[in-house]
C-alpha cells in the first residue's frame, strides 16, 4: 500500500466480541471499536459538511424526481397520488432516514448498511447476511444510476419532438445520448470531481433556484384560470384495471422517486470530515427540504394544469413539459424549464456515480467481489476509486445495450433500484429491533439520537415499508397483463440473485469478512 492509499485499521489485540461478553463485565466497558474494518484516513477526506449535505440532496433532488416521473402517477391516481403521495413518502422514507441516521452517527462508514448488518447480526449469520445486504445495495445503486441516466435522453428527445413534430425518436437515439452522458460523468468523476467538490454546492443552488423560478412563473401565468380546488385535491384517476387501493400503492413509485438514493450521504462517510455528525444532518435535511419542495411543486402543477388529458397523451413523452406549456402558455418558457430539469438530472447523475463507486469500492475493500484487489484501490494520483467507477460504468453500458433490444427489460432493471434499496434499509433496522436497540449496539453518546419511542417506530416502519415495496412495486402497472405491460422486476431480481450466489460460492465465501463490534475491558 503506497502513501496515497493511507488507511487506518482498528487495533483488535485486546478486544472481546461484545455479544459474548459475560453480563458481570458489562459495567467494566471502557470503549468500543470495530474489528476488521479499514477506514479512509482523515487526511484523505476532502468533502466539507455543506458539500456532503448538498451531494445527498442533489442525488434525490426531490422536486425534479417528481417532475421526471409524472407519467406513472397521473395514470395511477392522478392528482391524488401526486399530492398525497409526497406526504406518505415523507412519513415512510423519513422513518428510513431516521433508522439510517442513528446508525450512521455511531458507525459512519462507506459500506453503510452492509457494515451495520455485519456488526448487528449474530456471529453465525454475520458474514452471510452482510454479504447479501452489500450485494443488494451495489445492484440497487447501479440501477438508480441507470434510472437517472435514461432521464437525460428522454428529456432531450422530448424537446426535439416538440420543436420538430416530424421527428420520430428511435431507440438507438436514446441509447447514444444515454451512453454519452455516462461517459461524460465518468470522465468528470475520475479527473475533475476531486478538485471541484463545490460542484455539489452549485448543483444545490441551481436546483433550488430552478424550483423557485418554475413555481413562481407558473403561478403568475396561470393565476386567472387555476383549476378548482376540489378537482385538485380529490380527483382520482384510475385506468390501470386495479382497484383504487392497489393503483394508489403501485403509483407510489413516482413520489418515492423523490427519495431514490436517500442513503447517498451514508456512502460518502469516508469522503467527508466528522461524518458521525454530518451524515445524519445530510439525511434529515434531504428528507425535510425534499418534502417541502416536492409537495409545493406537485400542488402548484396540479392547479396550473388546464387539460389533464393532453398531459397524459402528449406526443413528447414528457408529461411535465406539457404541464409547463399549459401553465406558461409558452413553448419557449416550457423548454427553458425542461433544460433546467435536464441540468438537475446531470448533476444528480454525477453525484450518483460518485456515491455508487464508493459503495462498490468499500465492498471490494472487504474482499467481497472477484477482482477485489483491483476494485478496492484508490488511485494514487487522482485520489478516487477509478477501478470501481469503471466497473459500475461497464455494467451501466451493458444495461444501455439492453435498451436497444427491449425497453421493457431496461425499465424492469431500473425499477429494481427502489425495491432493493428499501430491502437494504430493512436489514439493519430489523437487526436493531432484534437487539432491542440496546446501548451496547447503539451508543447513548451518539450525535443523532431520537426519543426511544420514535426510534422504535422508525425501525418498525422501515421494515414494514420494505415489505410493502417488495410486494407492490413488483405488480404490473395495468391489468389485464400483456407482454409489453408486464413488470419484469421480479425476474431481474432473480437474475441478480444468481450472480450474487455465484460470486459468493466462487469468491466471497472464502474471502469476505465484515466488521464486528468489539469492546475493551478494564
Q: Give the integer Cα–Cα distance in Å for 35 and 310.
A: 59
Say which DSSP state 227 is in: P
Q: Does residue 519 sit in helix, strand or coil?
A: strand
Could you tell me which of 140, 62, 150, 93 has the C-alpha nearest to residue 417?
Answer: 140
Per-residue pLDDT of the chain (522 residues; tens, 9 = 90+): 443 443 444 433 223 333 443 433 333 333 455 665 666 666 566 678 888 889 888 999 889 888 887 777 777 788 888 899 999 999 999 999 999 999 999 999 889 999 999 999 998 999 999 999 999 999 999 999 999 999 999 999 999 999 998 999 999 999 999 999 999 999 999 999 888 889 999 999 999 999 999 999 999 988 777 888 888 898 888 877 788 888 888 888 888 988 998 999 999 988 888 888 999 999 999 999 999 999 999 999 989 888 888 887 888 888 899 999 999 989 999 999 999 999 999 999 999 999 999 999 999 999 999 989 999 998 888 889 999 999 999 999 999 999 998 888 888 888 899 999 999 999 999 999 999 998 888 888 888 999 999 999 999 999 999 999 999 998 887 878 777 678 888 899 999 999 999 999 999 999 998 887 664 443
Note whether 118 and 515 are within 8 A (CB): yes
Cβ burial of 70 (10 Å; 0-12, 13-18, 19+) is buried
Phi and psi at 76, nearest 5°, equal -120, 70
CA 201 to chain centre: 19
**What is the C-alpha to C-alpha distance for residues 46 and 135, in angstroms, rounded to an integer?**
27
- The pLDDT of residue 9: 41
Which burial class, exposed, middle or buried, applies to 423 when counting CB atoms under 10 A from its CB (0-12, 13-18, 19+)? buried
In the numeric block, which cell numbers belong to residue 448? 443523532
Backbone phi, psi, residue 7, to 5° = -140, 165
pLDDT of residue 36: 57
Contact 226, 304 (CB under 8 A): yes
Residue 1, pLDDT score: 42
Q: CA-CA distance, 268 to 139, in Å (whole number)?
A: 17
Query: 143: closest CA among 354, 410, 454?
Result: 410
Backbone dihedral region of 29: left (phi > 0), alpha (psi from -120 to 50 degrees) or beta? beta
Give the contacts of 287 (CB within 8 A, at least 6 positions apart).
Answer: 90, 93, 94, 97, 259, 262
Helices assigned H by DSSP within 223-274 = 229-234, 244-251, 253-256
What would the grid cell of residue 403 be? 435498451
Distance of CA 442 to the CA centre of its chain: 24
First to last CA, the chain: 34
Angle, helix 275-304 to helix 319-328, in steps of 10 degrees: 60
Amino acid at each position: 500500500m503506497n502513501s496515497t492509499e493511507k488507511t487506518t485499521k482498528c487495533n483488535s489485540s485486546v478486544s472481546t466480541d461484545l455479544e459474548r461478553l459475560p453480563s458481570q463485565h458489562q459495567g467494566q466497558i471502557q470503549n468500543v471499536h470495530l474489528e476488521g474494518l479499514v477506514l479512509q484516513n482523515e487526511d484523505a477526506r476532502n468533502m466539507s459538511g455543506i458539500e456532503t449535505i448538498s451531494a445527498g440532496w442533489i442525488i434525490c433532488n426531490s422536486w425534479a424526481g417528481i417532475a421526471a416521473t409524472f407519467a406513472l402517477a397521473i395514470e395511477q391516481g392522478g392528482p391524488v397520488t401526486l399530492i398525497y403521495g409526497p406526504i406518505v413518502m415523507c412519513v415512510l422514507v423519513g422513518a428510513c432516514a431516521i433508522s439510517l441516521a442513528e446508525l450512521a452517527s455511531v458507525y459512519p462508514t462507506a459500506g453503510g448498511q452492509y457494515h451495520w448488518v455485519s456488526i448487528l447480526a449474530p456471529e453465525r449469520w454475520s458474514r452471510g447476511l452482510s454479504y447479501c445486504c452489500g450485494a443488494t445495495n451495489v445492484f440497487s445503486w447501479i440501477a438508480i444510476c441507470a434510472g437517472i441516466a435514461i432521464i437525460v435522453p428522454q428529456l432531450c428527445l422530448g424537446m426535439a419532438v416538440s420543436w420538430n413534430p416530424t421527428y420520430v425518436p428511435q431507440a438507438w437515439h436514446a441509447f447514444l445520448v444515454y451512453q454519452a452522458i455516462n461517459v461524460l460523468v465518468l470522465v468528470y468523476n475520475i479527473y475533475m470531481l476531486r478538485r471541484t467538490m463545490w460542484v455539489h454546492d452549485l448543483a444545490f443552488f441551481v436546483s433550488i433556484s430552478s424550483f423557485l423560478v418554475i413555481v413562481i412563473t407558473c403561478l403568475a401565468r396561470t393565476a386567472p384560470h387555476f383549476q378548482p380546488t376540489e378537482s385538485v385535491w380529490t380527483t382520482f384517476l384510475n385506468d390501470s384495471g386495479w382497484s383504487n387501493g392497489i393503483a394508489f400503492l403501485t403509483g407510489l413509485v413516482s413520489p418515492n422517486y423523490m427519495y431514490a438514493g436517500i442513503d447517498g450521504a451514508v456512502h460518502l462517510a469516508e469522503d467527508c470530515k466528522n461524518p458521525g455528525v454530518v451524515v445524519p444532518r445530510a439525511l434529515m435535511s434531504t428528507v425535510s427540504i425534499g418534502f417541502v419542495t416536492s409537495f409545493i411543486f406537485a400542488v402548484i402543477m396540479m392547479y396550473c394544469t388546464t387539460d389533464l388529458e393532453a398531459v397524459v397523451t402528449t406526443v413528447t413523452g414528457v408529461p411535465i413539459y406539457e404541464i409547463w406549456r399549459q401553465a406558461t402558455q409558452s413553448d419557449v418558457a416550457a423548454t427553458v424549464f425542461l433544460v433546467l430539469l435536464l441540468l438537475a438530472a446531470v448533476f444528480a447523475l454525477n453525484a450518483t456515480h460518485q456515491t455508487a463507486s464508493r459503495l462498490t469500492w468499500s465492498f471490494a475493500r472487504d474482499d467481497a467481489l472477484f477482482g477485489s484487489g483491483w476494485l478496492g484501490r484508490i488511485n494514487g494520483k487522482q485520489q478516487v476509486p477509478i477501478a470501481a467507477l469503471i466497473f459500475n460504468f461497464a455494467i451501466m453500458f451493458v444495461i444501455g445495450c439492453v435498451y436497444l433490444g427491449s425497453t421493457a427489460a431496461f425499465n424492469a432493471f431500473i425499477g429494481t433500484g427502489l425495491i432493493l434499496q428499501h430491502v437494504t434499509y430493512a436489514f439493519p433496522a430489523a437487526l436493531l429491533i432484534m437487539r432491542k436497540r440496546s446501548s451496547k449496539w447503539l451508543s447513548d453518546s451518539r450525535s443523532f439520537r431520537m426519543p426511544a419511542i420514535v426510534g422504535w417506530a422508525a425501525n418498525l416502519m422501515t421494515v414494514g415499508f420494505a415489505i410493502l415495496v417488495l410486494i407492490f412495486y413488483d405488480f404490473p402497472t395495468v391489468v389485464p397483463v400483456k407482454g409489453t405491460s408486464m413488470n419484469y422486476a421480479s425476474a431481474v431480481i432473480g437474475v441478480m440473485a444468481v450472480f450474487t450466489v455465484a460470486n459468493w460460492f466462487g469468491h466471497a465465501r472464502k474471502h469476505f469478512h465484515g466488521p464486528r463490534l468489539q469492546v475493551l475491558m478494564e
